């Protein structure tokens, strides 16, 4: 249902989770400060990419184009968390009166309510991708996510 009414994709959600994990580590280890978060994206990204932290590099390395995520149930999700379900129920003018679209379209109000309930939490996992990494002249194959 998220994909039907959602404004973002599973890959957007997954990317936010990856970046959030990297930022949490960087804050905890004083690689960045809260003040840095009020500068520019480029300044924070520069500090993150220059950090000598394997876990941050691991998360950032997964933020590459083509590394897709998919929605997953809680038990199968790599990242699972609270979500603010967003939807549009615009006002329309009918008989000189403004009304919500959900008041005019049969079943839309229930559809929106179901959407809000089902999307309170979002789970994602990165699609299985084989990646070749070079670390200290050693090539390592890693498989991310599930099938």
Q: With bands split at pLDDT 50, 70 and 90, how would you rate the model's confidence at 31?
A: very high
pLDDT of residue 119: 84
CA–CA separation, 4 vs 46, rounded Å? 36
Average of per-residue pLDDT across 17-35: 97
58: Cα within 13 Å, side-chain hemisphere: 8
pLDDT of residue 129: 62
| Sole residue written with tokens 């500068």 | 39
pLDDT of residue 87: 86
pLDDT of residue 86: 83
Sheet with 69-71, edge to edge strand ranges: 69-71, 121-126, 79-82
Q: Are 69 and 126 in contact (CB under 8 A)?
A: yes
pLDDT of residue 79: 93
Average of per-residue pLDDT across 82-88: 85
Output the pTM of the full model. Answer: 0.69
CA–CA separation, 91 vs 12, rounded Å? 29
| Sole residue written with tokens 């300044």 | 43
């Amino acid at each position: 249902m998220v994909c039907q009414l959602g404004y973002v994709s599973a890959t957007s959600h997954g990317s936010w989770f990856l970046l959030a994990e990297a930022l949490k580590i960087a804050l905890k280890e004083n690689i960045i400060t809260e003040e840095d978060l009020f500068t520019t994206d480029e300044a924070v990204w520069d500090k993150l990419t220059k950090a000598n932290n394997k876990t941050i590099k691991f998360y950032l390395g997964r933020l590459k184009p083509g590394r897709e995520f998919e929605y997953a149930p809680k038990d199968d999700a790599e990242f699972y968390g609270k979500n603010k379900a967003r939807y549009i129920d615009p006002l329309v003018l009918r008989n000189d009166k403004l009304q919500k679209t959900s008041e005019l379209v049969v079943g839309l109000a229930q559809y929106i309510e179901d959407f809000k309930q089902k999307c309170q939490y979002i789970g994602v996992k990165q699609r299985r991708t084989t990646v070749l990494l070079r670390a200290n002249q050693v090539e390592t194959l890693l498989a991310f996510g599930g099938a």
